[in-house]
A and B are shown apart, each in its own frame.
Chain A
Amino acid sequence: MSETRIEKPRSFQEIILRLQAYWAAKGCAVMQPYDMEVGAGTFHPATTLRSLGSKPWAAAYVQPSRRPTDGRYGENPNRLQHYYQYQVLIKPSPPDLQALYLGSLEAIGIDMELHDIRFVEDDWESPTLGAWGLGWEVWCDGMEVSQFTYFQQVGGHDCHPVSGELTYGLERLAMYVLGIDHVMDMPYNDPQAPIALKYGDVFRQTEQEYSRWNFDVANTEVLLKHFEEAEAECQAILAQEHVDPKTGKRIVMAHPAYDQCIKASHLFNLLDARGVISVTERQAYIGRVRALAKQCADAFVQTEAGGWTPESAA
């Protein structure tokens, strides 16, 4: 397909930079990570909330993601409690989204002439976000390199139009492209740089610190209290009148409420890692976070970004 061979990237960050450049060139707003602890790039309001309502949207960003239960003290070659996802969300999903996606793989040095790319059925569901979609996991030579999803419902709302979502697990993808067996051995910056850093130089210590804290030290009583508080605050925010009494303007506070929902979700993950949530309680907690996510979605579609207009209200 491509006669001009794309040069192989040499580092983790180069892969990220190439994805940024590629999706920027394809017209996405390149956003920055959300400044809160989340379990996946989907939680970023640029995906969760912006996939709702009728307004077109195109965004791409890196999102640091935390999964406390996956911590392995930096020893497992593939598992991390803190890792990066690359996330693309385009609404409405363009007809050539598959081709755009394949272009991004070429951009990071995957030669389509040599590799076997497959779209294998994988329906996506997020019980905590009350969201689901249909799509695939994308395989490159038998390895899952991305999730490809057409959102059908988010926060209990049908998606109209439908967003196309791409999620790349950056470490895994980069390890494959760079031919690295242990994540900690992966060059983070250019191996020829005056101060060459490996992934392990940047993250091995933090993996150890967080693994210890996540599994054994985090104060579960405090976490539980924070969970309750975040839940209460989210509901309190959403209970406010739409019109701000001070400015007299209509200001629906969907995002501040959603921040509390994100917090509750992460606190639940921490509690889960501490092993204090039983199987039966698990479902109940997930249900509570989902209820918050739904209320936030309800609020967002009452905002202008969510497609609300004075006319639609009338």
Chain B
Amino acid sequence: MQQPATQRTPLIEISEIHCRMVGECYPENIQEFSSPVMTELNKVVPISGEYTVDLELFYFNSSSAKFFFDFFEFFEEKAENGLAVKVNWNYRADDDTMLEAGEDFAEDLERCTFELKEVPMESSSS
């Protein structure tokens, strides 16, 4: 799955080894946004092996927070069942909001490896 960023949704890449999201997330319709992503993850994320999740979010609204909560719950379950999941939470320097959000999501993840990574202000890579 390859989905370019829009004004209100992040760039999304999902493969058998890697999931990446970069940008902002405050979709017009959270269900329409989240359903295809979760469906794709269910389809392609393997049972065992290694998997990397790279996130670099600049902003997400409260409706999207629930999506990310479910997103991480999905990977936590995969990790519990034997997939080695590495999550990179990239946040821009000075962005306390996204740092706090990362810390809070990390708190619920016991089986996934979660790393908070400070990136320069203008970065758009992982």
Asked if A and B are interacting partners, one says no
